[in-house]
Amino acid sequence: MNDENLPAEDEKPLSVREATFAAMVIEDPMRSYAESARLAGYAPASSAQAARRLLNLPRVAKVIEEAIGDVIDRAQINSEWILLQAAEMFTADIADILTPEGSFKPIHEWPMIWRQMLSSFDVQEIEESIGHGMKVKVGEVKKARFIDKLKALEMIGKHVAVGAFKETVEHNHRHAHVHLDAEGFREARARVIAADDC
């Protein structure tokens, strides 16, 4: 068979184990590449070398980069979204959900941002006895709990794919990965291959 008819190395379809390795990397960016290789069926003793070899294959790297990009695009969550949410949360006025008398308006009348921040809403009826074992409702107490705005934004912002609050982190652990967006993956891949460290 003529070599000219063979597909280029980066145009070959991924093998089952190569595809599984890529899926493991995409599924959990905090997992080491060696562990991803082990989960893809490579021997534990040689999983670091297998990961290095796989990361060196352009077709494998391309699949991982594209998948990470697709996830970010589908989520449509980025540092700009975080900033907009933060601005909306911190400028939300409690008066928007209260009546002039100070009680809660019906939830369907609340602005969207308040409905999104609501984590629980309890209504407790207040009753008075009117005799003969009968009670009548005389009022109600409504309790609303809202999410911790700062914590929620921080968690989303620190998510590996969003990277709104990226920190410079030094790791001594051989298998630590701080963030994994498409650009971050390319940088991490190059460092791992150069440093012989999976």
The pLDDT tens digits for 39-72 are 999 999 999 999 999 989 999 988 888 887 776 6
- Quick one: pLDDT at residue 76? 65
Binning pLDDT at 50, 70 and 90, where does residue 5 land? low
- Quick one: pLDDT at residue 148? 78
Q: Which of 76-85, 101-110, 129-138 has the lowest mean pLDDT?
A: 76-85
What residue segments make up the domains of the chain, in order of their start? 3-76+175-195, 80-153
| 60-69 core/surface letters (b: 16 or more CB in 10 A; e: else) | bbebbbebbe
Q: Give the closest residue to 27 by CA, choosing from 41, 17, 39.
A: 39
Could you give the CA distance from residue 53 to residue 34 in angstroms, rounded to a whole number?
11
